[in-house]
């Protein structure tokens, strides 16, 4: 039963392992961050081979996009090399080996990998696959579950993102206007080729973000991915032309308000459905016809997620890159 | 048995490499990268649980009856978002720690605190 | 009102973005007070409803469980919702002046946003009947907690917050691994559904591993000895108001989660034949009580002293679990409630001292017995309650714990619990000695009584310490019924 998928599986897993070990052993943080981006991309590839296209899309955007970008902006402030100090190496090794063995023991009674009759695939999930076509009537089952059956989890997810935005702002502050040291870590706007390509690319990226936002019901995508892509366009612009032009378009106080509004929009759908006689986030009561009510609800909440995610990502990027190297003495008592 | 479960075991090895880096490394950024790998590997574990042999991506198409399990996908979408949110907050803390202590090495921070 | 279960959580949750838009110190405080008091009123009403009509189930999104997410309020959750939202409301009232000592005025609106997020996260953990939803709300409360701690005035707050973040994320990831195992075996995330399907699963090794990872993950969050190392720094360097809130609520919710997952999912007698879990809880609990109390006695900083005392008190709760009987579990539930009252009162009183004197080292307390009589009286009564003196709530918890130990035939445990109370006497005495038997120093001589708002909130909690120590009807009855229900008896 050695088929093509099986080989791909083995190869990607092997690459993941090599990358992880390389990351653990290296000391050059710049290289490590690059490798962690590769790790994210490899995971995304593996998710595709496991038929999880939505997850692959998101992991590619986050693991190979946003998170290396954040790491790099911080590395600029903190320095590139670690001094390689280890603490309690023996203790850690024992702990990790014990934990790992416990996990291996835990897998021994698990259903076989890929088993179509495993409990995971034959209980709750069956309803989603068989009934969502009738109950919600959109092709992408992941979107149906995410936005409706488990829509409350997704509300929580939007709140988590919002919490991160508030937390980062409370730590790094909100810049309301241009200020000294507000340069991005890499400024490449002087390169003609880069400049021309990106000037053509940025509108296309924005367009693609809108497509992903409103097309999530049919193919992979949705509010989160769209928000990340939208943010990527603004971030790309600020990397090429500096922070100030980008901040004139996307002003931090406005972004902060938008991050809050996205969550409020999501929650308001829940409130409206309560007022219309349903439970919180029951979209069926939003319209005469339950199925069109579901469609309406999903579109609005995905919009809320998209707005919160895009504004949060841009805000966080601004907060990191605009921070100058000058030491900010802490008040200590 | 090995063919049934090898996937999970490699993923466990990945988790443990990440977990080890979190505990043992003294550099605050390196710890976060370890944490990132640990979490990403747990995501792979979940998605592996949702794999169905012979299935396709859970996007309803006429004529297809076997799909992979969408529920783990949904859970992990949420978990990825939680992961990046945690990372952003952690990095903001690192920036402030660098400002306040002048270093991002655990040992040096402890020494400064003991003075 | 059928929507109360979800409103309990969603009101503070949606107040957070509204507060960010509002962004004004005074108005933000007022709105936070309104929101938390409303949440408290809802929790009172929920407890009443559960008493009269039994467990409430609320289907979020209109999808019946296990396909949709369910909010499930039984006696245990209503009881924990009550204490969490009650303390949150009182701390919010006191925060108007209390924050000024630690947090710049322009940062205070942000703090209120995070405060509401944290409260909503904690309430969400307690209200939900869905295992993955627990993870989501756990992360909402955790992320906001990290940010709240980092707002402390000293740079060590940043380091404490980072350490907690790393430990907390490892804990949450362990929990996630455990949930993954459970899901792979049962195909469901609804707690009721899991509890029904788990006994039919023939996969002992996987179930045991899942249990172990869930327990370790939660124990990292509840600072069970020896996984407590993040807590002292976090409580010491967070803004004093935040410490009062966290000490009274956060670990309590973690204890709730441990009880909920252990008893409602795996069952009271899970794995006892292969795993000496009760013995392990007894040993770790008692070790935590003694180790943390001994460290507390030596602390020069009062916030840090009571942080270690918190670790010791969590030890008592774990000992109650380890007894493995209805009375033991009841003692844990009583102490969960009572300890929130004690630590809420103590840390709010300390916040008053920090506000007037500017610090919480023992030196900052010199002669305060005369200068801040009401605040110091609150600390004395809170301390007596911590020791377990009759007519305070602390006595009730200890009484049931000793009763449970004796009933289980574990005389040594009963003896050790009583001996440990003497240690509490020692560390409380150190503060009393400095405050009442030393004269004011240059540091403290200009101190005045704490502001009225702070005193009011502190004394409501002090009053509760005495009231629930005398009229035990509510706590005793609720904890007894909840414990019987969890142990599988008649609800």
pLDDT, one tens digit per residue, over C205-255 is: 999 999 999 999 999 999 998 889 899 999 999 999 999 999 999 999 999
Test mutation, A156, A297, A309, A333, chain C, max C CBs within 10 A? A156
Confidence of residue A325 (pLDDT cuts 50, 70, 90): very low
- With contacts defined as CB-CB under 8 Å, which chain B residues touch A95? 23
Given this model, what pLDDT does residue B2 score?
A: 67
Instruction: Provide the shortest C-alpha distance from residue C156 to chain B (in Å).
Output: 8
Closest residue, chain B, to C186 (C-alpha): B49
Which residues on chain B are in Cβ contact (under 8 Å) with A47? 44, 47
Task: Tell me if C183 and B72 make a contact (CB, 8 A cut-off).
Answer: yes
Closest CA to B15 of A102, C240, C66: A102
Domain ranges of chain C: 276-491
CA of C408 vs chain A CAs: smallest distance (Å): 32
Confidence of residue A175 (pLDDT cuts 50, 70, 90): low
C229 in B contact zone (CB under 8 Å): no
Is A74 close to B24, i.e. CB distance below 8 A?
no
Among B residues 23-62, those touching chain A with beta carbons less than 8 Å apart: 23-27, 29-30, 32-34, 36-37, 40-41, 43-44, 47-61
The pTM (predicted TM-score) of the whole model is 0.95
pLDDT of residue A3: 73
Write the residue in C184, C202, C210 that is nearest to A118 by C-beta. Answer: C184
Domain ranges of chain A: 1-80, 133-325
Answer whether A106 sits within 8 Å of C206, measured CB to CB: yes
- Give the residue on C whose Cα is nearest the Cα of B112: C156
For residue C94, what are its two tokens? 């006191």
Whether B63 and chain A come into contact, CB under 8 Å, resolves to no
Nearest to C340 by CA among C301, C314, C376, C318: C314
pLDDT at A188 over 60: no
Of A109, A157, A285, the CB nearest to C136: A157
Q: Within a 10 A sphere around the Cβ of A183, how many other Cβ atoms?
A: 14
Chain A residue numbers touching B78 (CB-CB < 8 A): 146, 153-154, 156-157
The 8-class DSSP code of residue C106 comes to G
Asked if the model's pLDDT at residue A182 lies above 50, the reply is no
A134 touches chain C (CB under 8 A): no
Kindly list the residues from chain A whose CB atom is less than 8 angstroms away from the CB atom of residue B55.
51, 116
Contacts of C424-429 with CB under 8 Å at 24 or more apart are C424/C293, C424/C309, C424/C312, C424/C383, C424/C386, C424/C387, C424/C388, C425/C387, C426/C297, C427/C293, C427/C296, C427/C297, C427/C299, C427/C305, C427/C309, C428/C380, C428/C383, C428/C384, C428/C386, C428/C387
List the single residue in A13, A43, A163 with the smallest CB-CB distance to B85: A163
At residue A177, the pLDDT reads 44
| Structure-block tokens of residue C238 | 């967070």
Å between A322 CA and nearest CA of chain C = 20
C91-135 pLDDT tens trace: 999 999 889 888 988 899 999 999 999 999 999 999 999 999 999
Other C-beta atoms closer than 10 Å to the C-beta of C373 total 12
- Provide the total of helices (H) and of strands (E) in chain B, helices listed first: 4, 0
Query: Would the CB atoms of C10 and A267 count as touching at under 8 Å?
Result: yes
* C135, C150, C155, best to mutate vs chain B, most B CBs in 10 Å: C155
Asked whether A202 and A285 are in contact (CB, 8 A), the reply is no
Q: How many CB pairs under 8 A join B and C?
A: 68
Closest Cα partner for C359 from C404, C296, C300?
A: C300
Chains in contact with chain B (at least 3 beta-carbon pairs closer than 8 A)? A, C
| Residue of chain B minimizing CA distance to A138 | B60
CA distance C294 to chain B (A): 21
pLDDT, residue A244, reads 81
Q: Which chain C residue has its CA at the smallest distance from A330's CA?
A: C155
Which residue out of C61, C101, C185 would a mutagenesis test of the A interface target, given it has the greatest number of A Cβ atoms within 10 Å? C61
Q: Under 8 Å CB-to-CB from A186, ≥6 apart: which residues?
A: A239
Interface test with B, best of C145, C159, C172, C184 (most B CBs within 10 A): C159
| Lowest-confidence pick of A209-213, A291-295, C172-176 | A209-213
Nearest to C162 among B39, B82, B93 (CB): B93
Contacts of B86 in chain A (CB under 8 A): 164
Q: Which residues of B touch C156 (CB under 8 A)?
A: 113
Per-residue pLDDT of chain C (491 residues; tens, 9 = 90+): 799 999 999 999 999 999 999 988 899 999 999 999 999 999 999 999 999 999 999 999 999 999 999 999 999 999 999 999 999 999 999 999 889 888 988 899 999 999 999 999 999 999 999 999 999 999 999 999 999 999 999 999 999 999 999 999 999 999 999 999 999 999 999 999 999 999 888 888 999 999 999 999 999 999 998 889 899 999 999 999 999 999 999 999 999 999 999 999 988 878 777 778 889 999 999 999 999 999 999 999 999 999 999 999 999 999 999 998 999 999 999 999 999 999 999 999 999 999 999 999 999 999 999 999 999 999 999 999 999 999 999 999 999 999 999 999 999 999 999 999 999 999 999 999 999 999 999 888 888 999 999 999 999 999 999 999 999 989 999 999 999 999 875 43
CA distance C77 to C214: 19
Q: Which residues of B touch A46 (CB under 8 A)?
A: 44, 47
> In the structure encoding, which two tokens stand for residue C179, read together?
């949930």
Give yes or no for a contact between A280 and C60, defined as CB atoms under 8 angstroms apart.
yes
The long-range contacts involving A124-127, CB below 8 angstroms and separated by at least 24 positions, are: A124/B71, A124/C66, A124/C67, A124/C187, A124/C188, A124/C189, A124/C193, A125/B50, A125/B69, A125/B70, A125/B71, A125/C187, A127/C67
Of all residues in chain C, the one with the smallest CA distance to A284 is: C62
Domains and CATH numbers, chain B: 2-114 (1.10.287.3510)
Alpha-helical (H) ranges within C99-190 are 108-127, 131-150, 156-186
For residue C177, which residues of chain B lie inside 8 Å, CB to CB? Answer: 15, 42, 45
Is the N-terminal amide bond of C454 cis, ω within 30° of 0? Answer: no
Is residue A135 less than 8 Å (CB to CB) from chain B?
no
Higher pLDDT, B34 or C271: B34
DSSP string, C171-237: HHHHHHHHHHHHHHHHS--BHHHHHHHGGG---HHHHHHHHHHHHHHHHHHTT-TTS-TTHHHHHHH
Q: Residue A333: its pLDDT value, please?
A: 32
């Amino acid at each position: 039963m050695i088929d093509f998928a099986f080989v791909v599986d083995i190869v990607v897993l092997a690459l993941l392992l090599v990358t992880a070990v390389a990351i653990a052993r290296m000391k050059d943080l710049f290289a490590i961050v690059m490798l962690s981006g590769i790790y994210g991309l490899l995971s995304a590839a593996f998710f595709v081979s496991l038929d999880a296209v939505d997850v692959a899309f998101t992991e590619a955007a986050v693991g190979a996009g946003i998170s290396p970008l954040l790491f790099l902006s911080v590395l600029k402030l903190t320095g590139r090399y670690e001094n390689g100090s280890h603490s309690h190496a023996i203790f850690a090794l024992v702990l990790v080996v014990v934990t790992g063995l416990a996990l291996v023991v835990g897998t021994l009674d698990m259903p076989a990998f890929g088993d179509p009759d495993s409990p995971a695939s034959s209980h709750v999930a069956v309803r989603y696959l068989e009934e969502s076509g009738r109950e919600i009537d959109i092709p992408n089952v992941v979107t149906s579950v995410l936005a409706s059956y488990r829509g409350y989890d997704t509300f929580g997810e939007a709140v988590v993102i919002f919490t991160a935005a508030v937390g980062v702002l409370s730590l790094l502050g909100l810049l309301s206007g241009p200020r000294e040291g507000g340069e991005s870590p890499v400024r490449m706007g002087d390169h003609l080729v880069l400049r021309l390509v990106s000037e053509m690319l940025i509108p296309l990226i924005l367009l693609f973000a809108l497509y992903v936002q409103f097309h999530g019901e049919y193919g992979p995508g949705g509010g989160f991915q769209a928000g990340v892509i939208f943010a990527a366009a603004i971030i790309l612009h600020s990397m090429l032309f500096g922070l100030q032009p980008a901040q004139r378009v996307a002003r931090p106080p406005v972004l902060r308000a938008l991050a809050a509004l996205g969550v409020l929009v999501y929650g308001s759908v829940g409130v409206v459905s309560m007022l219309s006689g349903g439970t919180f986030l029951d979209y069926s009561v939003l319209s005469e016809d339950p199925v069109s009510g579901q469609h309406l609800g999903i579109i609005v909440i995905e919009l809320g997620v998209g707005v919160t995610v895009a504004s949060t990502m841009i805000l966080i990027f601004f907060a990191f890159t605009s921070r100058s190297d000058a030491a900010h003495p802490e008040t200590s008592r | 048995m090995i063919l049934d479960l090898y996937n999970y075991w490699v993923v466990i090895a990945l988790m443990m490499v990440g977990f080890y880096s979190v505990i043992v490394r003294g550099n605050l950024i390196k710890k976060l990268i370890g944490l990132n790998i640990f979490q990403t590997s747990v995501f792979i574990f979940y998605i592996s649980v949702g794999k169905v042999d012979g299935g396709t991506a859970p996007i309803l198409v006429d004529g297809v009856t076997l799909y992979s399990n969408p529920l783990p996908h949904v859970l992990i979408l949420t978990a990825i978002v939680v992961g990046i949110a945690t990372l952003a907050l952690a990095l903001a803390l690192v920036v402030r720690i660098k400002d306040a202590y002048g270093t991002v090495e655990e040992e040096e921070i402890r020494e400064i605190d003991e003075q | 009102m059928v929507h109360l279960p979800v409103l309990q959580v969603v009101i503070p949750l949606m107040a957070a973005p509204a507060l960010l838009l509002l962004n004004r110190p005074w108005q933000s405080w007022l709105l936070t007070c309104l929101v938390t008091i409303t949440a408290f009123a809802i929790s009172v009403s929920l407890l009443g409803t559960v008493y009269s009509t039994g467990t409430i189930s609320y289907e979020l999104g209109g999808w019946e469980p296990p396909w949709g997410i369910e909010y499930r309020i039984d006696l245990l959750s209503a009881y924990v919702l009550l204490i969490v939202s009650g303390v949150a409301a009182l701390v919010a009232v006191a925060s108007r002046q209390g924050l000024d000592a630690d947090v710049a005025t322009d940062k205070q609106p942000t703090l209120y946003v995070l405060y509401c997020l944290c409260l909503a996260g904690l309430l969400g953990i307690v209200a939900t009947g869905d295992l993955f939803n627990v993870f989501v709300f756990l992360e909402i409360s955790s992320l906001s907690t990290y940010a709240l701690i980092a707002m402390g005035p000293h740079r060590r707050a940043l380091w404490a917050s980072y350490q907690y973040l790393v430990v907390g994320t490892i804990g949450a990831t362990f929990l996630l691994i455990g949930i993954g195992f459970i899901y792979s075996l049962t195909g469901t995330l609804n707690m009721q559904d899991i509890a029904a399907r788990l006994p039919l699963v023939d996969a002992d090794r996987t179930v045991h591993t899942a249990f172990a990872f869930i327990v370790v993950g939660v124990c990292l969050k509840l600072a069970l000895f020896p996984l407590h190392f993040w807590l002292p720094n976090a409580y010491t360097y967070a803004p004093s108001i935040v410490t009062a809130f966290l000490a009274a609520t956060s670990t309590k919710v973690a204890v709730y989660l441990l009880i909920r997952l252990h008893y409602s999912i795996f069952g009271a007698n899970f794995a006892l034949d292969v795993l000496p879990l009760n013995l392990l809880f007894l040993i770790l609990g008692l070790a935590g009580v003694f180790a943390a109390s001994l460290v507390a006695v030596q602390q020069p900083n009062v916030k840090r002293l009571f942080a270690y005392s918190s670790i010791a008190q969590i030890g008592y709760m774990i000992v109650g679990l380890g007894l493995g009987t209805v009375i033991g579990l009841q003692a844990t539930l009583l102490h969960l409630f009572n300890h929130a009252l004690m630590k809420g009162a103590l840390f709010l009183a300390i916040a008053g001292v920090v506000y007037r004197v500017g610090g919480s080292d023992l030196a900052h307390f010199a002669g305060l017995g005369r200068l801040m009589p009401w605040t110091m009286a609150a600390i004395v009564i809170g301390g007596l309650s911590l020791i377990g003196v009759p007519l305070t709530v602390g006595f009730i918890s200890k009484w049931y714990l000793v009763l449970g130990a004796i009933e289980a035939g574990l005389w040594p445990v009963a003896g050790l619990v009583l001996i440990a109370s003497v240690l509490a006497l020692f560390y409380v005495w150190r503060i009393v000695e400095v405050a009442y038997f030393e004269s004011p120093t240059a540091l403290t001589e200009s101190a005045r009584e704490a502001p009225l708002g702070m005193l009011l909130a502190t004394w409501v909690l002090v009053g509760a310490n005495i009231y629930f120590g005398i009229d035990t009807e509510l706590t005793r009855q609720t904890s007894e019924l909840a414990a019987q229900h969890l142990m599988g008896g008649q609800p």
